[in-house]
Amino acid sequence: MPNQNIKILHIDSNHPLLWEQLEQAGFQNEADFTSSKSEIEAKIQYYQGIVIRSRFKIDQDFIDKATNLKFIARVGAGLESIDCDYAEAKGIHLIAAPEGNCNAVGEHALGMLLSLMNKLNRADRLVRQGQWIREGNRGYELEGKTVGIIGYGNMGKSFAKKLRGFDVTVLCYDILPNVGDANARQVSLAELQAKAEVLSLHIPWTPETDKMVNAPFIDAFAHPFWLINTSRGKNVLTDDLVAALESGKILGAGLDVLEYEKLSFENLFIDTEKPKAFEYLLQAENVLLTPHIAGWTFESHKKLAQTIVDKIVAFYEQN
């Protein structure tokens, strides 16, 4: 087989089809899910490819030690855990799979929005507590609203597609020109802020998007609005989000990601006091929180793996 001399190191577990199909294509797979970053660095020169999720960052020191690396494949949508500029300067091909979980993200974003607007989580909790409160759980309809989407790539387009049939106006803003389609009209950021009553973020975390949703950004909206963030937590300044929730400028927030996330968010607050803004989010009835699972469905688990396999195979077929 032409790929039999290409060794790929897998440092995170993934859907088994990824391993199986790479093996069938002739690649040599090796797994190491437990070694430390320094231990991986000590042997990375023996591999032509590495498959990762989010166990640790691929920085310049790592790349310098990966003297034979031809590609880095991340089984996920973003590449922010990789020093992309440095890797590309070293001739390393970067692979991600935003196509693999965009449908899951679109459905999750819509589910969060509908739950918030109809107070489904609050109503469910109160009924379980024996409180049959109808007026206090009166909701809002999505029909007739203007939905603004910032970031109109795979994820944003998926969310817009899900909105078809709700009789809403969908606007999108993106730094790239001519990305609008039949599901969303591309507009300037100023027009989106003037018209939107719902805002959904579908952007990567970059220096340009870091803490983009802050007080001046929020204040620029002409209408109170619902906020959905299934992108990256650091795109939203939580202190300013809480202030907007308290003032009513933001009517409710569905957050699948948080500013405080680290590679292992589960252990973030064990030995430290929770930030006050985070404490507010935990108590707020108009806030819906999920643990970075928007793209984490049973179906997307398989789709992400298949996308990575297809791109690795295509890379070697072209080279």
- 3-class SS string, 79-107: CCCECHHHHHHCCCEEECCHHHHHHHHHH
What are 274's strand-pairing partners?
none
- Side chain identity at 312, as an amino acid letter? I
Which residues are marked as active site?
Answer: 232, 261, 292
User: Is the distance from CB of 148 to CB of 185 less than 8 angstroms?
Assistant: no
Q: How deeply is 268 buried, as exposed, middle or buried, from its count of CB atoms within 10 A (0-12, 13-18, 19+)? A: middle
- Side chain identity at 146, as an amino acid letter? T
Q: Report strand pairing: 169-173 vs 146-150.
A: parallel
Q: Compute the distance between CA of residue 232 and CA of residue 208 in angstroms, rounded to an integer.
A: 13
